[in-house]
Amino acid sequence: MPRTPDDSSGDSVARRSTRTLTRFLANRRTAQYALAGLGLVIAATLLPLQFLGVSGASGAAASSSPAFIIAYAVVALSILACEVPRVSSMLRRLSRGQAVAPKASGSAIACATPLASGEIARVLRAKGYRRLATTDEAVWGVRHAWAPLGDLMFHFGILLVMAASLASATVARHEATRSYPVQSVTSSAGAARDTRDASRVLRGYTLKSVRAFMDGKVITDLRAVVTDTAGRDWSVEPAAPLILGPGKLLLVDGWGYAADVSLSGTESVSTPFRTTVRIPALHERATSHPLFIAAGGATYRVTLTVDDSRLSARTGRPSLHTARLPRIRATVGVREKDGTYRLVERDVTLARSRETTVAGIVLGLTRQRPYAAVRTIESWSILPMLLGLTAITVGLIWRLGIGRRDAVVERRATGWHVSVKADAYRLATAEAERICRALEGR
């Protein structure tokens, strides 16, 4: 179908706009401003939150603010626009069979060597230089010719990490945490103190046992054993997860005490009752469990709260560092005729050694059992993140640790001179001195 003049102009406008945008994003000044912009957004939005004591979840919320997302996207697009055009030109340049003669450097080192150019080439080869070119007046070669690719690898690694972080924070994630009674608690002396059966099926894996090792009141190690469908045992520890498959992890997330709270009616409650409520896992900050108890014609609301001050400041959870028992507080209200609850008692601390009576209800801690939280995570961010982190590491080692060096040894009126053009991270003079020493047989 023939194109109309309108189509063609529309097409060219779109193409021109794309080209202008790409040029803008690939501009080195844009790259600098984008980095500075992201820094400013972080400093303006996320830094103040820290000193207001609302980090963590609020920090995550601030990192999904429009300003942050725009700054983040501009940095990512700028990296993409800068690096993609470099790929083909760099590959073309690097795949050349022979090194291009570098321009004679003004800071060449005079070298008192009696060798001829052929022998100089052999010395350079012995020093790791390849793609050697030799004339009567000069010898030149390149070492680690492909090292500049580390630069590309690093930047694409950053892009992968940025994409994976975004995916992790938005959609590509499924997470489930369950708490399981710990089978045995072992002191540092090795004596088992408690053993319970705790087999449960976990996504095709059976949790066989969870053991905790203690030193004083600190859990120094936590080991779970899971069995797969083939009957093989796998060990899982904190910070040493079991990889179930691509992007799937099984973790022993933490440790904590689950509390059994008994509630019973006394003489003042016309219908005696006794019940036990288990707060299944004390893994969250300030967990609250409202209970409604109908007794003696009245309805009571009992709220059990894990004392926040007992949680680790580092993790926000009671489980990861210390095995001390968290304090549990109860707040009791009684229902009025209008449906509201009148506060009878607020924040009564429950103790194991004694029972507490509030409005005729006897509250007591009957048992606190150790629990381990076992968690499965499925996230599409894991693979790209690991790939990105690997690319960043390899890229940095390649670029900084190895680095490309172009050396030229040329004959001048005063004798042979060595000059080295090294990449930005190497000291060219030091390399030239090294070659000179080899040429002089030192």
Partner 1 sequence: MITASTFDLVWVTAAVVAAGAATVTLAIGSHRLRVWAPAIHVAATTAILAARTMQIGRLPVFGPFENTIVAGWAASVVIAASCFSAPTAIKDRLARALAPCVPLILVAGAAFSRSKGLMGANERALIGYAHGYVGWFGFGLFLSATVTAVLVLRAEGRKDSDGETLSAHLFRLLCFGFAWLTATMASGALYSFLLFSDWYQWQIVEVLSALIWLGYALLIHAHLLFGWKTRRLAIGVLAAGPLLLATYWIWSFLPITYHYFGGS
Site for partner 1 in 77-116 (CB under 8 A): none
SS (H, E, C) the chain: CCCCHHHHHHHHHHHHHHHHHHHHHHCHHHHHHHHHHHHHHHHHHHHHHHHCCCCCHHHHHHCCCHHHHHHHHHHHHHHHHHHHHHHHHHHHHHCCCCCCCCCCCCCCEEECCCCCHHHHHHHHHHCCCEEEEECCCEEEEEECCCCCHHHHHHHHHHHHHHHHHHHHHCCCEEEEEEEEECCEEEECCCCEEEECCCCEEECCEEEEEEEEEEECCEEEEEEEEEECCCCCEEEEECCECEEEECCEEEEEEEEEEEEEEEEEECCCCCCCCEEEEEECCCCCCCCEEEEEEEECCEEEEEEEEECHHHCCCCCCCCCCCECCCCCEEEEEEEECCCCCEEEEEEEEEECCCCCEEECCEEEEEEEEEEEEEEEEEEECCHHHHHHHHHHHHHHHHHHHHHCCEEEEEEEECCEEEEEEEECCCCCHHHHHHHHHHHHCCC
Tell me the CA distances in angstroms from 177 to 238, 318, 365, 435, one per residue in order. Answer: 14, 15, 25, 61
Smallest distance, partner 1 to C-beta of residue 373, A: 11
- Residue in 31, 161, 25, 158 with CA at minimum distance from that of residue 81: 25
For partner 1, which is the closer residue by CB, 363 or 391? 391
Query: Site for partner 1 (CB under 8 A): which residue of 143, 144, 283, 375?
Result: 375
Q: Give yes or no for residue 247 binding partner 1 (CB under 8 A).
A: no
Q: Give yes or no for residue 255 binding partner 1 (CB under 8 A).
A: yes
Single-letter residue type at 423: D
Q: Give yes or no for residue 381 binding partner 1 (CB under 8 A).
A: yes
Smallest distance, partner 1 to C-beta of residue 74, A: 13
Single-letter residue type at 62: A
Site for partner 1 in 181-240 (CB under 8 A): 212-213, 215-216, 218-222, 237-240
For partner 1, which is the closer residue by CB, 60 or 343? 60
Q: Give yes or no for residue 283 binding partner 1 (CB under 8 A).
A: no
Smallest distance, partner 1 to C-beta of residue 79, A: 11
Smallest distance, partner 1 to C-beta of residue 9, A: 36
Query: Which are the contacts of 283, defined by CB distance < 8 A and separation ≥ 6?
Result: 177, 179, 253, 254, 256, 317, 318, 319, 373
Query: Site for partner 1 (CB under 8 A): which residue of 14, 60, 286, 351?
Result: 60
For partner 1, which is the closer residue by CB, 14 or 60? 60
For partner 1, which is the closer residue by CB, 57 or 294? 57
Site for partner 1 in 162-191 (CB under 8 A): 164-165, 168, 175
x/- binding map, residues 8-27, to partner 1, per CB under 8 A?
Answer: --------------------
Number of residues that bind partner 1 (CB under 8 A): 68
x/- binding map, residues 390-429, to partner 1, per CB under 8 A?
Answer: --xx--x---x-----------------------xxxx-x
Query: Site for partner 1 (CB under 8 A): which residue of 127, 196, 208, 321?
Result: 321
For partner 1, which is the closer residue by CB, 66 or 297? 66
Q: Give yes or no for residue 294 binding partner 1 (CB under 8 A).
A: no
Query: Site for partner 1 (CB under 8 A): which residue of 56, 114, 272, 290?
Result: 56
For partner 1, which is the closer residue by CB, 140 or 255? 255
Smallest distance, partner 1 to C-beta of residue 194, A: 17
Query: Site for partner 1 (CB under 8 A): which residue of 18, 19, 39, 135?
Result: 39
Q: Which residues of this chain interact with partner 1, rule CB under 8 A?
A: 28, 31-32, 35-36, 38-39, 42-43, 46-47, 50, 53, 55-56, 59-60, 62-63, 161, 164-165, 168, 175, 212-213, 215-216, 218-222, 237-241, 251-255, 312-316, 320-322, 375, 377, 379, 381-382, 385, 389, 392-393, 396, 400, 424-427, 429-430
